[in-house]
Copies of this chain bind each other. A is one copy, B any other.
Amino acid sequence: MSLTGSEKPQRKTRIQRANEQKILEAALDVFSRNGFRGSTIDQISEAAGMSKPNLLYYFKSKQAIHETLLARLLESWLDPMKELDPEGDPLEEILNYVRRKIEMTRDFPRESRLFANEIIQGAPRIKPILEGEINALLETKAKIMTKWMDEGKIKRVDPKHLIFSIWATTQHYADFDVQVRLVLGENIDNPDQFEKTKAYLENLFTSLLKID
């Protein structure tokens, strides 16, 4: 028994690190396709290439994997918004935010769906985190936008609804991928289609905000 008290205080082994990685990668795949209740530990352990008890050696429960995944996700999910710079050119700052958002949608569609699944079902597991972090950040950024509007740098709109519409329009391409593909034949993982989508969204938000 170690003197440090906690359960697993040791530094991580090579194997431990590798296997936790494999599990989280597999779990992201499975959870984002099937939702929490629609996913089984067997599916995940199979996808991770190990036995179920072995998976449970690294994560004590299905919940634990899911929580780890969501925690990591939330961390990176808000990054694009954090970069919104009050000193930059207002319209360009917002467009850059849109661009970063749609790049994330292209590069991390599974993360987007994992998040969407969680929110649609009432965010049972991440409401507290959402409540604190997102709200604070959003409040700050909304204030910046309001200041820009006061200064006449961009047109006046409700900043929170603006942010909602940026989230909605960008994430739509990941979350409703099947539908988009059914209509367009492809989605933003295709470079050509990515450019078209980006151009459309840049135009959408420029039209809304640009002062003539």
Q: How far is the CA of A180 from the CA of B161 in the complex (A)?
A: 9
Instruction: Give Cα A182 to B34, complex, Å.
Output: 26
We find that the number of chain A residues with CB closer than 8 angstroms to chain B is 50
Stretch at the interface among A20-28, A80-88, A145-153, A195-203: A195-203
Grouping DSSP codes into helix (H, G, I), strand (E, B) and loop, the A interface class, with mixed when no group exceeds half, is: helix
Q: A167 to B176, alpha carbons, bound, how many Å?
A: 10
Chain B residues contacting A135 (CB-CB under 8 Å) are: 182-183
The oligomer's copy count stands at 2
B204 & A138 in contact (Cβ 8 Å cutoff): no
**Complex Cα gap A178–B125 (Å):** 12
With known contacts A135-B182, A182-B131, A208-B204, A120–B120 Cβ distance under 8 A = yes
Set B37, B172, B182: member contacting A130, Cβ < 8 A: B182
Interface check A127, CB cutoff 8 A:
yes
Considering the complex, give the chain B residue whose CB is closest to the CB of A123: B178
Complex Cα gap A121–B203 (Å): 30
Residues of B within 8 A of A175 (CB): 116, 119-120
Q: List 11 A-B contacts (CB under 8 A).
A: A33-B122, A34-B37, A35-B38, A116-B116, A116-B176, A120-B175, A127-B178, A164-B169, A164-B172, A164-B180, A208-B208
- For the complex with contacts A161-B197, A204-B208, 19 further pairs of A-B residues with Cβ separation under 8 Å are A35-B35, A36-B38, A116-B116, A116-B120, A116-B176, A119-B176, A119-B178, A122-B178, A123-B178, A127-B178, A127-B182, A135-B182, A155-B207, A161-B201, A162-B200, A164-B183, A165-B169, A167-B176, A208-B208
